[in-house]
C-alpha cells in the first residue's frame, strides 16, 4: 500500500498572529538589511577602487617627473633602475616608458597582467622643460598598470565585518521586537480573546480592561459596549418573551404552532379549552395518522393550509369546520403565518383559531333575513312603482278634469253671457217700453224703476259670474286677462298693480288659462290671508321662458306647506304649475310678505306635453 505524499508546494503554513507579525518583521528586516548591506558594500568597493585609481595617478605623475631627465639624456640604465625600484610594489603590473621618436625605451612587468577588468591603467605624457625659455618638449609617455586585487581583498574583509555587524544588529532588533510584541500586543489580545470567549459563552457581565489609549483600548471599549448592548438586548428579549408567554397563556383565542405532519408543537390553554381536551399534551398527540383518539386536521387539510400559506404569504380569515374531542362539530376562523427555514421552504404554521359557530349561524340567519328583506324591498318597490304610476294617472286625470272644468266654465260663461244676458237685456227693454205705455202714475213709475234696478243688478251678477267662470279678457291674450284681474282686485278694495316687461306672452288658450288661474289663486290667497295693503302682478319675458310674479306686503307665513292643514290653494297652484311644465317658488316669512314666482318655459318637451291635457 503506497502512501500519498503531499507536494511541498501544497503545504499551507498556519501561523498565528504573532508568527505572522514576526514573519512580516523578518521579511522587512531582511529586505532593509539586504538593501543597506548592498549599499554599504557598493560604497566601500567604490571607495577602495577610487583609492587604487588615485594611487595609480600619483605613481604615474611622480614617475613621469623622475624619468623625464633620464629620457632626455637617453639614459636607459637610469630608467630601468627607476622602474625596477617600483616593481616591488605588489599592486604594480606594468611600467613602460616610450620615447616619442624611438618607441619603447624600457618596460617592467613584475607579475601577470590578468584580465583588463582587474587593471587600472594610467598613461601620462613625459615633458622636458628647457631652462631659460620655459618651453616644454614632449619626450614620450609613461604607461602605469595597477592591479585591483589587493583592493578587492580589503573590500571582502570589510564585507565580512559589515555582515557580522548587520547580523548582530538585526538579530537584536528582531528579538527585541519579538518580546515587545509579546508584551504589548499578544498578551492584551490573549486577554481580550479570553473575555470575548466568556461573552460568547453567555457571561455578559464580563468587562474587558482598558489600558493605554491605543487601538487595543479602542477594541476593548467596543467589546465592552457590545457586551452592554447584548445585556440590554437580552433583557428586552426576556421581557418580550415573558410578555409573549403571558399573552400566549392568557389569550382568549387558541394559539398554535403546527408542523407539516399535522402535529402541534405548541398550544395555549385557550386552544385546549376550545376543543375540550384534558391537557395540552393530549392535544399535541393528536397527529395525522397517529394513534390518538381524535385529531383536528386531516392530511388533506394540512396540505391545503401549507399550500395557501406558501402561496399567499399567510392565511387570513379562513373559516373551516373542525371537531372537538368528543365529535362535536364547530366552525372556526383560522389566521396563520408561514414560518420558513433557511432555504425558504414553509416549515411551520403559527396562527390563531377562534370559535365562530355562533357568528356563522347568525350570519346565515342574517343572509336569510337579508334575502327576505330584499324580496320585501323588491315587492315594495314594485308597489311604489305601481303607486307612482297611479299617482301619474291621477295627475293626468286631475289635469283632464281641470281641462273639462275649464271647458265647462267656458261653456257656462258663454251660455250665461249670451243667453241669460240677452234675456235680461230684453226684459229691461220690455220694462222700459211697458213704462211708456201704461198711464203715468207715481206708483207705477216707482215699481218699474225697482224692477229695472233689479234687472240691472241681475245683469251685473251675470257678468261677474261669467267673468269668474271665464274672463272675456282671455280671448285677447294673457296680458289682457292679467290686467283685468289686477283691476278687478283693485276694484274690490286692495290696490294691485300690473306690470308687463317685454313682449306680450304668446301662449295657447289652455296654458294661458292655467297661468291665469295660478295668478287668480295667488291673489285670492292674498285677499283671504295676507292682510296686505298692496299687491303687484308682474309678467316678464326671460327669453326662453316667462316669469309670473305675485308679490304682496302682507303678514307672510311659513313656507313649509307639507305639514300645514287647509293649504289646498298652494297645493293647487303647485299642481297647476307642474301640469304646465313650470316651476313655482314661494318665498315668504312671517312679517315680510310673500312672493310667488312661476317660471314657464315657452316650449314644452314630450313628457310635459303628455301631461298637458287642456
Helix axes 568-580 and 357-415, enclosed angle (nearest 10): 90
In a domain, 585, yes or no: yes
Q: What is the CA radius of gyration of the chain?
A: 70
- Residue 281: what pLDDT? 85
In a domain, 65, yes or no: no
In a domain, 516, yes or no: yes
Distances (CA, A) of 555 to 39, 375, 479, 558, 566: 129, 51, 28, 10, 18
Which sign does the torsion angle of CA 150, 154, 155, 159 carry? positive
In a domain, 76, yes or no: no
In a domain, 355, yes or no: yes
In a domain, 217, yes or no: no
Q: Which of 173, 168, 166, 170 is nearest to 44 (CA)?
A: 166
In a domain, 51, yes or no: no
- pTM for the model stands at 0.36
- What is the spatial distance between Cα 496 and Cα 549, in angstroms, rounded to a whole number? 12
Burial of 59: CB neighbours in 10 Å, binned 0-12, 13-18, 19+: buried
Q: Are strands 496-501 and 535-541 parallel, antiparallel or unpaired?
A: parallel
- Residue 1: what pLDDT? 42
DSSP state for residue 18 in the 8-state scheme: H
- Residue 373: what pLDDT? 92
- Residue 114: what pLDDT? 66
Contact 467, 425 (CB under 8 A): no
The number of CA neighbours under 13 Å toward the Cβ of 236 is 5
Q: Tell me the CATH number at 272.
A: 3.30.450.20
Q: Which of 356, 318, 474, 333 is nearest to 410 (CA)?
A: 474
- Residue 411: what pLDDT? 66
Name the domain count of the chain. Answer: 2
In a domain, 514, yes or no: yes
- What is the spatial distance between Cα 69 and Cα 82, in angstroms, rounded to a whole number? 12
- What is the spatial distance between Cα 308 and Cα 451, in angstroms, rounded to a whole number? 110
- List, as one string, the DSSP characters of 326-356: TS-EEEEEEEEEEEE-TTS-EEEEEEEEEE-
- Residue 562: what pLDDT? 46
Contact 122, 146 (CB under 8 A): yes
Angle at 386 between CA 380 and CA 390, to 5 degrees: 140
Cell numbers representing residue 439 in the block? 198711464
List strands edge to edge, sheet with 92-99. Answer: 103-108, 92-99, 136-147, 119-129
DSSP state for residue 7 in the 8-state scheme: P
Q: Are strands 496-501 and 583-588 parallel, antiparallel or unpaired?
A: unpaired
Q: How far apart are the first and last CA of the chain?
A: 130
- Residue 537: what pLDDT? 92
- The boundaries of the domain holding residue 581 are 474-601
**Number of C-beta neighbours around residue 375 at 10 A:** 10
Angle at 524 between CA 523 and CA 528, to 5 degrees: 115
10-residue stretch averages of pLDDT, the chain, 614 residues long:
44 58 74 76 75 79 80 78 78 80 80 71 79 72 79 74 80 79 73 78 74 71 80 82 80 87 87 87 68 66 87 84 87 89 86 90 92 91 83 65 64 66 72 70 73 77 68 77 86 86 84 84 85 90 90 83 60 80 87 90 61 45
- Residue 538: what pLDDT? 92
- From 337, 361, 385, the end of a domain falls on 361
- Residue whose cell numbers read 633602475: 81
Q: Tell me the CATH number at 498.
A: 3.30.565.10
- What is the spatial distance between Cα 586 and Cα 551, in angstroms, rounded to a whole number? 10
Cell numbers representing residue 387 in the block? 303607486
Amino acid at each position: 500500500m503506497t502512501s500519498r505524499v503531499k507536494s511541498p508546494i501544497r503545504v499551507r503554513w498556519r501561523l498565528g498572529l504573532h508568527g505572522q507579525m514576526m514573519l512580516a518583521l523578518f521579511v522587512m528586516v531582511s529586505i532593509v538589511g539586504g538593501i543597506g548591506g548592498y549599499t554599504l558594500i557598493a560604497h566601500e568597493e567604490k571607495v577602495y577602487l577610487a583609492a587604487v585609481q588615485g594611487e595609480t595617478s600619483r605613481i604615474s605623475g611622480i614617475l613621469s617627473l623622475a624619468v623625464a631627465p633620464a629620457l632626455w639624456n637617453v639614459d636607459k640604465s637610469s630608467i630601468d633602475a627607476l622602474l625596477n625600484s617600483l616593481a616591488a610594489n605588489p599592486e604594480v603590473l606594468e611600467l613602460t616608458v616610450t620615447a616619442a621618436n624611438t618607441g619603447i625605451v624600457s618596460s617592467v612587468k613584475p607579475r601577470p597582467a590578468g584580465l583588463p577588468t582587474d587593471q587600472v591603467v594610467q598613461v601620462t605624457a613625459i615633458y622636458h622643460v628647457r631652462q631659460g625659455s620655459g618651453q616644454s618638449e614632449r619626450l614620450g609617455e609613461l604607461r602605469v598598470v595597477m592591479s585591483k586585487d589587493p583592493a578587492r581583498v580589503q573590500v571582502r574583509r570589510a564585507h565580512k565585518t559589515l555582515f557580522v555587524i548587520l547580523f548582530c544588529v538585526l538579530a537584536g532588533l528582531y528579538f527585541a521586537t519579538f518580546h515587545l510584541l509579546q508584551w504589548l500586543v499578544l498578551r492584551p489580545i490573549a486577554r481580550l480573546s479570553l473575555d470575548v470567549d466568556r461573552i460568547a459563552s453567555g457571561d455578559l457581565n464580563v468587562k474587558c480592561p482598558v489600558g493605554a489609549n491605543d487601538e487595543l483600548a479602542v477594541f476593548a471599549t467596543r467589546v465592552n459596549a457590545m457586551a452592554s448592548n447584548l445585556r440590554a438586548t437580552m433583557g428586552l428579549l426576556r421581557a418580550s418573551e415573558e410578555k409573549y408567554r403571558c399573552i400566549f397563556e392568557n389569550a382568549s383565542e387558541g394559539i398554535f404552532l403546527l408542523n407539516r405532519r399535522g402535529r402541534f408543537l405548541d398550544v395555549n390553554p385557550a386552544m385546549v379549552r376550545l376543543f375540550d381536551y384534558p391537557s395540552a399534551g393530549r392535544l399535541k398527540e393528536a397527529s395525522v395518522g397517529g394513534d390518538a383518539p381524535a385529531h383536528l386536521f386531516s392530511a388533506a387539510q394540512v396540505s391545503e393550509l401549507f399550500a395557501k400559506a406558501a402561496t399567499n404569504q399567510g392565511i387570513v380569515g379562513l373559516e373551516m369546520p373542525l371537531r372537538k374531542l368528543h365529535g362535536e362539530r364547530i366552525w372556526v376562523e383560522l389566521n396563520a403565518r408561514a414560518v420558513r427555514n433557511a432555504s425558504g421552504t414553509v416549515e411551520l404554521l403559527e396562527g390563531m383559531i377562534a370559535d365562530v359557530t355562533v357568528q356563522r349561524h347568525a350570519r346565515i340567519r342574517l343572509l336569510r333575513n337579508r334575502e327576505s328583506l330584499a324580496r320585501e324591498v323588491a315587492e315594495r318597490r314594485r308597489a311604489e312603482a305601481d303607486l307612482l304610476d297611479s299617482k301619474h294617472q291621477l295627475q293626468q286625470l286631475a289635469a283632464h278634469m281641470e281641462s273639462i272644468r275649464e271647458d265647462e266654465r267656458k261653456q257656462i260663461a258663454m251660455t250665461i253671457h249670451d243667453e241669460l244676458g240677452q234675456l235680461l237685456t230684453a226684459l229691461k227693454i220690455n220694462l222700459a217700453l211697458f213704462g211708456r205705455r201704461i198711464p203715468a202714475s207715481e206708483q207705477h213709475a216707482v215699481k218699474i224703476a225697482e224692477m229695472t234696478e233689479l234687472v240691472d243688478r241681475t245683469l251685473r251678477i251675470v257678468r261677474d259670474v261669467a267673468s269668474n267662470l271665464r274672463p272675456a279678457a282671455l280671448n285677447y291674450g294673457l296680458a289682457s286677462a292679467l290686467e283685468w284681474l289686477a283691476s278687478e282686485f283693485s276694484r274690490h278694495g286692495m290696490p294691485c298693480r300690473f306690470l308687463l316687461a317685454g313682449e306680450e306672452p304668446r301662449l295657447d288658450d289652455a296654458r294661458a288659462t292655467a297661468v291665469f288661474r295660478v295668478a287668480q289663486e295667488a291673489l285670492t290667497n292674498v285677499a283671504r290671508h295676507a292682510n296686505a295693503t298692496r299687491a303687484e302682478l308682474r309678467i316678464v319675458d326671460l327669453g326662453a321662458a316667462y316669469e309670473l310674479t305675485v308679490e304682496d306686503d302682507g303678514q307672510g307665513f311659513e313656507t313649509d306647506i307639507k305639514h300645514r292643514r287647509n293649504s289646498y290653494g298652494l297645493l293647487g297652484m303647485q299642481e297647476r304649475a307642474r301640469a304646465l311644465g313650470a316651476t313655482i317658488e314661494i318665498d315668504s316669512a312671517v312679517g315680510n310678505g310673500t312672493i310667488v314666482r312661476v317660471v314657464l318655459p315657452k316650449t314644452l318637451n314630450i313628457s310635459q306635453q303628455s301631461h298637458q291635457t287642456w
